[in-house]
Amino acid sequence: MSELRFVHLGFGADAVEYQQAWQKQRETHAARFTDEIPDTCLLMEHPAVYTAGRRTEDSERPLDGTPVVDVDRGGKITWHGPGQLVGYPILKLPRPVDVIAHVRRLEEALIRACAELGLETTRIEGRSGVWVLGDPLEQRPAIGGLSLDFDPRLTDEEFDPRLNGPEYAPSNAGQRREDRKLAAIGIRIAKGVTMHGFAINCDPDNTWFDRIVPCGIRDAGVTSLSNELGRRVAVAEVVPLVEKHLREVLVEEAPSPRAVDPKPEPVPATAG
């Protein structure tokens, strides 16, 4: 990639309705496919909305009947709303398309942005997104009673074995207190061009996540930059950092695609 432009669609009082942003994504995707525009990242906030990927189960939706927008990305249900920076990178990927490499690059840019704010984050094996690790086992409080620990590598249908390797912390597998997701990633690739993207929690009201099973993950929590850093971290503070590191990762460090498997398995989009 030789160029990446950023388009600010609206923040705060000018937050963009999800359906309007989705249509803007489609238009941008079509223009990028025909090379009318360079790679483009749309940045914005949304008014509060739940969106559900193709694999969302009924049991993961809001129990109170709150409306949900069903979308064409991979993964399951999540929330977008005030205090959360949402980015939709519309990029033409090198062929053969490598979905996981794209996810890793988005994760890397967000991890670097968090580090610049003073927060250490990581990946967790089998799960997309950016995470803050829970406390180690030896630091768990002794609460008594029966404790049941389940290894998500065996029980979590969202666990993706392709999301493994030295870039990823070992799954908590019952060995830590609750890991906390800071940023979610959900993508779709059509005609070699990406859609959807990431959402990083800056200073949202995280109680919105209490109504759903975020990303279909039941053994981890959700956090924000404000919660972790102990001060208010506004979306406006995070935007230039995310732009800086997305440009570094997507333009300056674009990886070569993996070698083609002579009998490749289907590669669904991933999200969380």
Q: State residue 256's pLDDT score.
A: 47
Q: How many residues does the chain have?
A: 272
Pick the closest to residue 236 from 110, 107, 85, 115 (CA basis): 85
Q: Which two tokens stand for residue 227?
A: 């919660």
Would you call 215 a catalytic residue per the annotation? yes
Integer Cα distance of 87 and 245 in angstroms: 13
* Cα gap 197→80, rounded to integer Å: 12
Q: Which region holds residue 37: left if phi is over 0, alpha if psi is between -120 and 50, else beta?
A: beta
pLDDT averaged over 10-residue windows placed end to end, the chain, 272 residues:
87 95 96 96 95 78 78 80 97 88 94 97 88 72 45 57 71 66 91 94 89 63 92 98 96 55 47 52
pLDDT of residue 155: 54
Residue 167: its pLDDT value, please? 74
